[in-house]
Amino acid sequence: MRQLTMSQAINEALREEMRRQPNLIHLGQDIGPYGGTFGVTKGLYEEFGQERIRDGPLCESATMGFSIGAAIHGMRVIVELEFIDFAGVAMDQIVNQAAKMHYFFGGQLTVPLVIRAPIVSRMGMGAQHSQSLEAWFMHIPGLKIAIPSNAYDAKGLMKTALADSNPVVFIENAKLYPTKADVPEEQYWVPFGQARIVRPGKDLTIVAISGAMPDALAAVDRLSKEGISAELIDPRTLSPLDDHTIVESVKKTGRLLITHDAYRTCGVGAEIGQRVSEQAFDYLDAPIMRVTGLDVHVPSGNLHPAVVPNSQQIIDASLKMCGKQHAMYS
């Protein structure tokens, strides 16, 4: 099968839907001839023109407001925040406007809006350009959150996002943009609220989110050499969250570890852990553990790895949970 990078896969989903939906437009900064800060919108301006691939001024708040306005009045809108960190500038529009309009107007308005929000973790850009802020959005009812970890899911989730009538925060991890996966030529949709079992296993369940996935995969491979069979799960969407798949896995393995780059406190791991605790407490053989980013701002340059998890930390925690912390291991 042909392989695409995650960046190419998202580009292809956007292109297919722009062709199919004449009322679909894309707003943002640098999405036009420049092709996007990370190259994701490359070629779209040339095909669809400036009316639909609409480069605008650098003002996240009004750009988000314009996007919401067009979305409540007959269009479907994609809007890019060049870095998820910039969501702060547009947060009122996302939280108080997009998320709530369908509810407090009694269902009269819908907001078919896809907010493309790249996480630029581990790329050395410092405290204001490197955060994993998915938990901010998961806290708010009315938003959906897609957070793919590979090219296949990214394309299928984007196709689903562009068929949804709700505001979707589509979190792309820039570190994963160049990673390749098999992507079929024919169209497909990855449904929201369906986690993927990346690797089946029986001793331990590991849930890995977005940029933590490559390290989790490496850890699972090495754990298998230690005789530990870990089941690796990618939730793919956080709202809705597929509790069921995670809970069923934990009922089988008796152990749960969650890993993400985001800050630890009130991170997505806390929510997942609590849900499992409520639904599968009697099945647990060990405390639920988290391997996450530290509650520390992201330092600059090549210092970022000091505050985000790595595969060794995932392995150490897994061994401890399985009672093998003293195993010979290097």
Partner 1 sequence: MPKEIPVNTLLGWYEQMNTIRAFEESAIELFAKGLITGSTHPSIGQEGIAVGTCAALRPSDLILATYRGHGECLAKGADPKALMAELLSRSTGCCKGKGGSMHLCDVSHGVLGTNAIVAAHIPIAAGVALSSMIRKTGQVTVCFFGDGATCEGEFFETLNMAQLWKVPLVLICENNGYAISVPIAKSQSTPDIADRAKGFGMRNAIVDGNDVLAVYRAVSEAAELARGGDGPTLIECKTVRWERHSAFSAGRYDDPEERQRWRKTDPIPRFRQSLLQSGATEQQLAGKEASAKTVIQEAVDFAIASPSPTEESLRQNVYAE
Catalytic residues: 60, 129
Q: Does 102 bind partner 1 (CB under 8 A)?
A: yes
Exactly one of 3, 19, 43, 105 binds partner 1 (CB under 8 A); that residue is 105
Q: Does 290 bind partner 1 (CB under 8 A)?
A: no
Q: Which of 265, 252, 246, 253 is nearest to 228 (CA)?
A: 253
d(CA 218, CA 212): 10
d(CA 21, CA 229): 45
Q: Give the residue with the Cβ less far from partner 1, 45 or 177.
A: 45
Q: Could you say which DSSP state residue 175 is in?
A: G
Closest distance to partner 1 from the beta carbon of 34 (Å): 18
d(CA 216, CA 286): 19
Q: Does 67 bind partner 1 (CB under 8 A)?
A: yes
Exactly one of 73, 326, 328, 330 binds partner 1 (CB under 8 A); that residue is 73
250, 280 in Cβ contact below 8 A? Answer: yes
Q: Give the residue with the Cβ less far from partner 1, 67 or 179.
A: 67
Query: How many Cα neighbours within 13 Å face the side chain of 273?
Result: 21
The CA radius of gyration of the chain, in Å to the nearest whole number, is 20
Which three-class secondary structure state does DSSP give residue 75? coil
Interface characters, 43-62, with partner 1 (x: CB under 8 A): --------xx---xx-x-xx
Q: Does 329 bind partner 1 (CB under 8 A)?
A: no
Amino acid symbol at 28: G
Closest distance to partner 1 from the beta carbon of 105 (Å): 4
Residues found near partner 1 in the complex (CB under 8 A):
23, 25, 51-52, 56-57, 59, 61-75, 92-93, 96-97, 101-111, 141-142, 144, 165-166
